[in-house]
Amino acid sequence: MAAVTRGSFRVFKRLLSQQYYRRCYRLQNLRSDQTLQPLTFKCDRILQMFSNRTLHTAIMSRGPIVQFKLSDIGEGIMEVTVKEWYVKEGDKVSQFDSICEVQSDKASVTITSRYDGVIRKLYYDVDATALVGKPLVDIETESGSEVIQEEDVVETPAMAREEHTHQEIKGHKTQATPAVRRLAMENNIKLSEVVGTGKDGRILKEDILNFLAKQTGAILPPTPFQEVQTPGPALAPAAAAPRPVSTVAATKPPLTTPTPVFTSKDVTEPLKGFHKAMVKTMTAALKIPHFGYCDEVDLSRLVALRAELRPMAEGRGVKLSYMPFFIKAASLGLLHFPILNASVDEGCQNITYKASHNVGLAMDTSQGLLVPNVKNVQLLSVFDIACELNRLQALGAAGQLGTTELTGGTFTLSNIGSIGGTYAKPVILPPEVAIGALGKIQVLPRFDAAGHVFPAHIMKVSWSADHRIIDGATMCRFSNLWREYLENPATMVLDLK
């Protein structure tokens, strides 16, 4: 519109100028200069008035400037560190475009735009501390576009505070465009019942259509199967079976020795991000009276079973390690000892028995120690758990674990054996009440019932429990049941649902 207005102004100015010169030429011989001054002043006033109106129209055509604020990320987080800006002043953005990446003391979060427009101001520099509820950027929205006065979007993977699976979704905070929300409203569909397949769990139009198809019985073409490949444990054979073409492989960087750093002076820096979170978590954890229990497990039969199942899993595009068996065995044990899958309040006056088995896995990443968890293990098969572990390991290697993966855990296993070591003294992660540390698998001599020596695959396990609510006998019985499942994997079939 501004271009059209400027074109009209040029045409009008040209006409006024021609008329003005004609009148001036005619009146040159008839009137004096004093007579020409009012006409000149009048033409200038007309041009000035039209110019002002044109400028006013151009200004009014610009959209309003909206302050994009950092919304509540949850988990009581009040400040974050800006790690990277994906935009700069003057850049044009659309809805759901990434604006920046921030890091809290729990997870890295990508902030995306809710508006279409132009970035006018960045409020923070890289590594600066941004406060929840304060502006991050100013966005000049496009003229005529509808400014939706809703809370700003914080894009994390699925963004759910409560755990969810394909079978059950509780308290899921959905991410969807207005068009998708309108489509769901027109078909009387609750977005909380739809599983999003878009980026970071966003619900797409196809998800709504697939949900409708399931309700009406329509048949839709299947989605190509894609899984993430991760390397297996240290005992896995070097040769891998051929992978399907549709498999997306995630290469793990080779282990390298840390480069020694020599400095000439001391360096002091504030604790930020995950290091700051570790201070809070471990300070709270050491207030818990820990009870320790150690044992060893003969995994010889499990090693043979995994060797048999591994080619089948790789044929489906998934790397099968020992951890899915460890996690599933723990979940089966928690069904018999639910107090180990519980939490207590700060005053230790109430105990909450968790319905979901969200088993965490301590993971060593470039960002430090992180503990993502597999949701609802009690509903998953060993293969499902392997798929989820592949995904979590790929996200951890890429530094993209979000709040959903890192929160909501109810029980934890720490696989220290993947790095080295046998026994450990694991520290409970509040508000959980138990944790296990798994040592490396070693081939050691053992005696059979007849007294003969045979090579056995032995793994040490170390348990820690909250001694305020869990006694030693309970921890021991749970460990015995967990060990029985792993030493005789066929027994797990009896309890699988």
One digit per residue, pLDDT tens: the chain, 497 residues? 444 444 555 545 555 555 555 554 454 444 444 444 444 444 455 545 544 544 444 444 567 888 888 876 655 677 888 888 989 999 998 888 888 888 876 667 788 888 888 999 999 998 888 888 889 999 998 755 455 444 444 444 333 333 333 323 333 456 776 667 767 776 767 777 777 777 667 787 777 777 766 554 333 333 333 333 333 443 433 333 333 333 333 334 455 566 777 777 888 888 777 777 778 888 888 889 999 999 999 999 999 999 999 999 999 999 999 999 999 999 999 999 999 999 998 888 899 999 999 999 988 877 778 889 999 999 999 999 999 999 999 888 887 888 788 889 999 999 988 888 899 999 998 899 999 999 999 999 999 999 999 999 999 999 999 999 999 999 999 999 999 999 999 998 888 77
Q: Is 467 a catalytic residue?
A: yes
φ/ψ (deg, to 5) at 426: -65, 150
Catalytic residue among 91, 275, 467, 495: 467
83, with CB counted inside 10 A (0-12, 13-18, 19+), is middle
Under CATH, what is the fold of the domain 288-495?
A: Chloramphenicol Acetyltransferase (3.30.559)
DSSP lists the bridge partners of residue 456 as 444
Q: Give the largest Cα separation in the chain, rounded.
A: 136
- Report CA 285 to chain centroid distance, whole Å: 25
Please tell me whether the peptide bond between 431 and the residue prior to it is cis, using omega within 30 degrees of 0. Answer: yes
Query: Which is catalytic among the residues 44, 127, 345, 471?
Result: 471
Question: Which of 330, 379, 318, 307 is closest to 486 using CA atoms?
Answer: 330
Cα separation, 306 vs 309, whole angstroms: 5
**Chain CA centroid to CA 258, Å:** 28
**pTM recorded for the entire structure:** 0.58
Same fold, 65-140 and 288-495: no
Length of the chain: 497
Sign of the C-alpha dihedral, residues 319, 321, 327, 332? positive
Active-site residue, 471 included: yes
Q: CB within 8 A of 312, min separation 6: which ones?
A: none
Kind of pairing between the strands at 434-447 and 453-466: antiparallel
Burial, 380: exposed, middle or buried (Cβ in 10 Å; 0-12, 13-18, 19+)?
buried
The domain spans of the chain are 65-140, 288-495
Contact predicate 354/342, CB 8 Å: yes
Give the DSSP H or E segment for 478.
helix 472-487
d(CA 489, CA 382): 12
- For residue 289, the surrounding DSSP H or E stretch is none
CATH T-level assignment (fold) for domain 65-140 = OB fold (Dihydrolipoamide Acetyltransferase, E2P) (2.40.50)
